[in-house]
Amino acid sequence: MRFAWNHQVGIILRTGVLLLVAGLLLCPSNAAAQHRHVSLLPASSRPARVAPGPEVFENVSRRPGVVEVNLVATPAVIDLVPGAPSAAYAYNGRVPGPRLELREGDQVTVHFRNELPDTTTVHWHGLHLPVTSDGSPFHPVAPGGEYTFEFTVRPGSAGTYWYHPHPHHRTGVQVAKGLYGAVIVRAADDPIAHLPEKLLILSDNRIRDDGSVDLPDRLTPSWRIDQENGREGDLLFVNGEVGPTLTIRSGEIQRWRIINASAARMYRLALPGHTFLHVGSDGGLFERPVERDEILITGAERVEVLVSGSGAPGSETALQALPYDRYIPQTRPADWESTRVLATLRYSNDPPMVPPPVPDRLRPIPELDTLDATATRVMVLTQGMINGRMMDMERVDVEASLGATEIWQVENLVGMDHPFHLHGFQFQVIDRNGVPEPFRSWKDVVNVPEHETVRFIVRYDDYPGKWMFHCHILDHEDHGMMGVLEVR
Ligand code: C2O
Ligand code: CU
Ligand code: CU
Asked if residues 104 and 93 have their Cβ atoms less than 8 Å apart, the reply is no
pLDDT digits (tens, 9 = 90+) for 199-229: 999 999 999 999 999 999 999 999 999 999 9
Helix-then-strand count for the chain, H and E: 5, 33
Helix (H) or strand (E) holding 114: strand 107-114
CA end-to-end span of the chain:
54
Per DSSP, the residues of 202-253 read EEEE-B-TTS-B--PPTTSHHHHHHHHH----SEEEETTEES-EEEE-TT-E
Measure the CA dihedral 269/275/281/287, to 10°.
170
- Ligand 1: which atom is nearest the Cα of residue 445? 1
For residue 235, list its beta bridge partners.
205
Q: Which of 237, 164, 245 is nearest to 198 (CA)?
A: 245
User: What is the distance between the alpha carbons of residues 365 and 329, in angstroms, rounded to a whole number?
Assistant: 40
Greatest C-alpha distance within the chain: 70
Q: What pLDDT, in 10s, does the model give residues 127-172? A: 999 999 999 999 999 999 999 999 999 999 999 999 999 999 999 9
Amino acid at 329: P
Q: Which of 463, 465, 460, 429 is nearest to 445 (CA)?
A: 429
How many whole angstroms from 151 Cα to the centroid of ligand 2?
15
Q: How far apart, in Å, are the Cα atoms of 382 and each of 42, 55, 170, 370, 432? A: 41, 40, 21, 27, 18
Question: Across the chain, what does the average pLDDT equal?
Answer: 91
CA of 136 to the centre of ligand 1 (A): 8
Ligand with minimal distance to 301 CA: 1
Confidence bin at 60 (pLDDT 50/70/90): very high
**Is the CB of residue 470 below 6 angstroms from any atom belonging to ligand 1?**
yes
Spacing, Cα 414 to ligand 3 middle (Å): 10
For residue 166, give the ligand nearest its CA: 1
pLDDT at residue 181, rounded to an integer: 98
pLDDT in tens, 113-132: 999 999 999 999 999 999 99
Instruction: Indicate which atom in ligand 1 lies nearest the CA of residue 164.
Output: 1
Which SS3 state, helix, strand or coil, does residue 43 take? coil
Residue 25 pLDDT: 33
What is the share, in percent, of the chain residues with pLDDT greater than 90? 87
* CB of residue 302 inside a 6 A radius of ligand 1: no
**Rounded mean pLDDT of 433-461?**
98
Quick: pLDDT tens for 341-381.
999 999 999 999 999 999 999 999 999 999 999 999 999 99
Closest ligand to the CA of 484? 1
Cis peptide before 96 (omega within 30 of 0): yes
Ligand closest to the CA atom of residue 477? 3
Q: 276-303 pLDDT, tens per residue? A: 999 999 999 999 999 999 999 999 999 9
As a whole number of angstroms, the distance between CA 337 and CA 17 comes to 36
pLDDT tens digit sequence for 14-46: 333 333 333 333 333 333 333 344 444 444 433
Distance from C-alpha of 334 to C-alpha of 230, rounded to nearest angstrom: 15
Q: Is the CB of 474 under 6 A from ligand 1?
A: no
> Does 236 score more than 50 pLDDT?
yes
> What number does the ligand 1 atom closest to the CA of 300 have?
1
**Residue 50 in this model has a pLDDT that exceeds 70:** no
List C-alpha distances in Å: 174 to 44, 87, 120, 166, 288: 19, 12, 8, 9, 37
Per-residue DSSP letters for 311-334? SPTT-EEEEEEE----S-GGG--T
Give me the mean pLDDT over the 412-424 stretch.
Answer: 98
**Ligand 1 neighbourhood includes 448 CB (under 6 angstroms):** no
Q: Which residues pair with 252 in a beta bridge?
A: none
Say how far apart CA 239 and CA 252 lie, in whole Å: 22
* Residue 423 Cβ < 6 Å to ligand 1: yes
pLDDT greater than 80 at residue 100: yes
- φ, ψ of residue 175 to 5 degrees: the values are -70, -40
Distance 28 CA to ligand 1 centre (A): 42
Strand partners, 56: 99
- From the alpha carbon of 162, which atom of ligand 1 is closest? 1
* For residue 333, pLDDT beyond 90: yes
Query: Under a CB-based contact definition with an 8 Å cutoff, are residues 135 and 125 in contact?
Result: no
Mean pLDDT throughout 330-351? 97
In 10 A of CB 226, how many CB atoms?
24
Query: What are φ and ψ of residue 346, in 5° steps?
Result: -110, 130
Is the pLDDT assigned to residue 187 strictly greater than 70?
yes
Q: Would the CB of 274 count as within 6 Å of ligand 1? A: no
CB 317 within 8 A of CB 436: no
Which residue has its alpha carbon closest to ligand 1 atom 1?
125
- In short, whether 72's Cβ falls inside 6 Å of ligand 1 is no
pLDDT band at 49 (very low <50, low <70, confident <90, very high): very low
Q: What is the mean pLDDT of residues 334-345?
A: 97
d(Cα 87, Cα 20) in Å, to the nearest integer?
13
Identity of the residue numbered 159:
G
Q: What is the DSSP string of 411-440?
A: EE-SSS-EEEEESS--EEEEEETTEEPSS-
List the single range of 46-55, 194-203, 332-341, 377-386 with lowest mean pLDDT: 46-55
From CA 454, how far away is CA 446, in angstroms rounded? 8
The average pLDDT across 322-332 equals 97
Q: How confident is the model at residue 243 (pLDDT cuts 50, 70, 90)?
A: very high
SS3 19: helix
Question: Which pLDDT score, from 0 to 100, does residue 17 have?
Answer: 36
Mean pLDDT calculated for residue range 188-206: 98
The phi, psi pair for 162, rounded to 5°, reads -155, 170
Model-level pTM?
0.91
Range 70-80 average pLDDT: 94
The predicted structure's pLDDT at residue 37: 41
> If you measure from the C-alpha of residue 473 to the centroid of ligand 2, how many angstroms do you get, rounded to a whole number?
12
Tell which atom from ligand 1 comes closest to the C-alpha of 470.
2
Work out whether strand 482-487 and strand 398-400 pair parallel, antiparallel, or are unpaired.
parallel
